[in-house]
Amino acid sequence: IITPNDRWEFRLLFPKGRISYFLGNFWNGSHWLYVSSEYHVEAYQFNNVFTPRDRVQYEDWRLALGMRSDHGWFDKYIEVAWITGRNFENQSGFPPKLDVDDQIMVRGGIRF
């Protein structure tokens, strides 16, 4: 993590990196504008009628632009992300390996 001054913060890590710019303290919180990149993987195991104990893996690359605010005991965020390189595959081979198109994702939330 690199903080060259009071405004910039560089978290140049893998699989999720982020560059943030401090906008200031207002509305009872510290607000940041950021750009982030992420290699994202999720894997699940489940039972179904055709193949008991099937395993599914989903992976993609994400590039996001967002704003976050820190309010002490909670923080909020909203971001727009471009998702590319999506891949979906499962152990049973049914359906076979799928390539999913690029997408735009908008998300926001509150973390306690």
* Average pLDDT rounded to a whole number, residues 34-54: 84
Task: Report pLDDT for 44.
Answer: 87
pTM, to two decimals: 0.79
- What is the average pLDDT score of the chain? 89
**H/E stretch holding 22:** strand 16-26
| Per-residue pLDDT tens over the stretch 2-14 | 999 999 999 999 9
* Average pLDDT rounded to a whole number, residues 51-70: 88
Q: How far is CA 107 from CA 25, 66, 92, in A?
A: 23, 9, 32
